């Protein structure tokens, strides 16, 4: 995990772009838009009680541990190597479960551009998801790496540009005198009864704000981290929170929350926008931007997952087969292992009654594991802040902010067990048992793979 003399090549701009790549995602917009105008309240709560505390914690600990390694180093310093490896396992798990959702999003968007009649065909989506994942696995296994600028271009092209277009069109929509499909009164900022029925979406609102701490992985490569990190994290966090909130609001202004599709909502709003204003090929252009951006972001993260797990398995009783690197220096066996797990997870698209329910199940399962990881991270932060002498104000923040964020994470786990009313699930007990079973099954491997030699 440690680099002896890493090159100090990253500045504030690179950190900001890396944070946007890590957190900001169009995939999360249709989920937040389900709440209508009250999404502002939900995002404000999640921002104040989870995201901004995470931003502050990351800025403090990245400076305190100015080495390559990030949250792994923090948790290891607080609780030992075993918990450090466990944190890497949880990170790997929630990301590998996240992959079917991002590739389903890519596949659905791609089909809406070339074959709209197939965009709800689960078998076609399954085939595209499997093909794309194994294609990227093959590329990474043979040492063809995406450069850092590709990730930056993907973030700008596939995230910030479409979000800006959505926000701009929604503003123009209202200024032109066209009605909003969702009420925009002061009272509508408060959650309504229907919002409480869909409270499980809150766990995915939290998930949409996760990942900021990953930029601390590059602390050893940042010039003047004491100044660079706080500034970059403040700008990045405010940008992410603003773009996610305003983009979600733009979606539900044009399309009623009851009619927003989880997978296809982004393309629906672009199609409506450009058709209404008679701009030919505008929706197709934005659709290809979304596909290219999402594909680039997914590709840039895949090899990181495999390398993270390889680090966790080193010096453990894990099979030697999983600890080997190929001639190109890539963890080929782990890449294949995570490809097999990914392919099995895609069976959810066949077992569950609809594409939306499958997409939701994998989204909430990924969020559950992520929130478990964050409870561990916030617990480590509290212990680390108390382990050094500090001012009274700093000690108060070091105890209060991680505690609040940890409690919010726990709330997110609990509400995730209640499925939304509009995804087509009829057997609540079966859904909850299936979710609990998956959580239990994926928590078992660390006890066998991550044991010390």
Distance of CA 168 to the CA centre of its chain: 24
Domain total in the chain: 1
The answer to the question of residue 20 being in a domain is yes
Q: Binning pLDDT at 50, 70 and 90, where does residue 339 land?
A: confident
The three-state secondary structure class of 218 is helix
Cα dihedral sign, 137-143-147-148? positive
CATH number of the domain enclosing 321: 1.20.1740.10
Burial-class residue 66 by CB neighbours within 10 Å (0-12, 13-18, 19+). Answer: middle
CA gap 133, 122 in Å, rounded: 16
**Hey, is 316 helix, strand or coil?**
strand
Distance CA 22, CA 407 (A): 23
The structure tokens 């087969």 sit at: 321
> Which tens digits make up the pLDDT trace of 147-168?
456 666 777 888 889 999 999 9
Contact 252, 37 (CB under 8 A): yes
Choose between 224 and 10: higher pLDDT: 224
Q: Is residue 337 part of a domain?
A: yes
**63-111 confidence digits (pLDDT tens):** 887 765 678 788 889 998 878 878 888 888 888 888 888 888 888 888 8
Alpha-carbon distance values, 141 to 94, 96, 132, 144, 340 (Å): 22, 17, 14, 8, 15
Residue-number span of the structural domain to which 264 is assigned: 12-449
Rounded to whole angstroms, what are the CA distances from 184 to 39, 179, 241?
Answer: 11, 10, 20
User: For residue 313, is it within any domain?
Assistant: yes
CB of 228 closer than 8 Å to CB of 16: no
Q: How many CA within 13 A on the CB side of residue 393?
A: 0
Are the CB atoms for 266 and 26 separated by under 8 Å? yes
Lowest mean pLDDT among 87-91, 191-195, 394-398: 191-195
Strands (E), 25-174: none
Say if residue 193's pLDDT is above 60: no
Residue 1 lies in a domain: no
Which DSSP state fits 198? T
CA distance 272 to 259: 13
Q: How many residues comprise the chain? A: 453
Q: H-helix or E-strand containing 203?
A: helix 201-208
**pLDDT confidence of residue 399:** 87
- Give a yes or no: residue 314 inside a domain: yes
Alpha-carbon distance of 97 to 110, in angstroms, equals 21
Q: Burial of 157 by CB count in 10 Å (0-12 exposed, 13-18 middle, 19+ buried)?
A: middle
pTM of the model: 0.81
Residue 266 lies in a domain: yes
The answer to the question of residue 4 being in a domain is: no
- Is 253:72 a contact under the CB 8 Å cutoff? no
**CA of residue 362 relative to chain centroid, distance:** 12
**Is the residue at 2 inside a domain?**
no
């Amino acid at each position: 995990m440690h680099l002896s003399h890493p090159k100090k090549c990253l500045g504030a701009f690179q950190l900001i772009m890396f944070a946007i790549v890590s957190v900001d995602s169009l995939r999360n917009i249709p989920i937040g838009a389900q709440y209508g105008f009250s999404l502002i309240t939900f995002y404000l709560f999640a921002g104040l009680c989870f995201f901004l505390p995470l931003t502050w914690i990351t800025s403090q600990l990245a400076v305190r541990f100015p080495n390559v390694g990030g949250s792994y180093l923090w948790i290891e310093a607080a609780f030992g190597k075993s918990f450090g490896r466990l944190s890497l396992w949880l990170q790997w798990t929630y990301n590998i479960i996240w992959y079917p959702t991002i590739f389903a999003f890519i596949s659905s968007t791609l089909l809406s551009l070339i074959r709209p009649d197939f965009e709800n065909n689960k078998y076609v989506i399954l085939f595209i998801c499997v093909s794309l994942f194994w294609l990227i696995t093959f590329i990474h296994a043979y040492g063809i790496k995406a450069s850092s600028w590709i990730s930056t271009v993907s973030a700008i092209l596939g995230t910030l540009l479409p979000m800006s277009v959505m926000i701009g069109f929604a503003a123009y929509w209202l200024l032109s005198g066209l009605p909003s499909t969702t009420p925009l009164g002061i009272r509508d900022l408060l959650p309504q009864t229907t919002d409480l029925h869909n409270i499980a979406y809150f766990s995915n609102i939290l998930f949409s704000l996760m990942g900021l701490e990953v930029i601390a992985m590059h602390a050893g490569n940042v010039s003047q981290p004491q100044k660079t990190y706080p500034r970059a994290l403040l700008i990045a966090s405010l940008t992410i929170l603003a773009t996610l909130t305003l983009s979600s609001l733009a979606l539900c202004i044009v399309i009623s929350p009851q009619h927003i599709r989880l997978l296809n909502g982004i393309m629906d709003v672009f199609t409506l926008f450009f058709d209404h204003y008679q701009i030919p090929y505008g929706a197709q252009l934005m659709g290809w931007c979304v596909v290219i951006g999402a594909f680039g972001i997914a590709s840039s993260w895949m090899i990181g997952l495999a390398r993270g797990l390889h680090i966790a398995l080193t010096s453990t009783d894990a099979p030697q087969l999983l600890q080997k690197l190929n001639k190109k220096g890539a963890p080929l066996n782990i890449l294949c292992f995570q490809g097999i797990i990914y392919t099995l997870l895609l069976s959810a698209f066949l077992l569950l009654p609809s594409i939306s329910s499958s997409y939701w199940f994998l989204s909430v399962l990924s969020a559950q594991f992520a929130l478990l990881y964050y409870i561990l991270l916030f617990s480590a932060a509290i212990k680390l802040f108390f382990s050094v002498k500090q001012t009274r104000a700093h000690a108060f923040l070091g105890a209060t902010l991680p505690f609040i964020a940890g409690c919010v994470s726990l709330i997110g786990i609990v509400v995730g067990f209640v499925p939304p009313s509009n995804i087509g699930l009829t057997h609540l007990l079966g859904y909850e048992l299936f979710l609990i079973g998956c959580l239990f099954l994926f928590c078992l491997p660390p006890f066998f793979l991550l044991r010390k030699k």
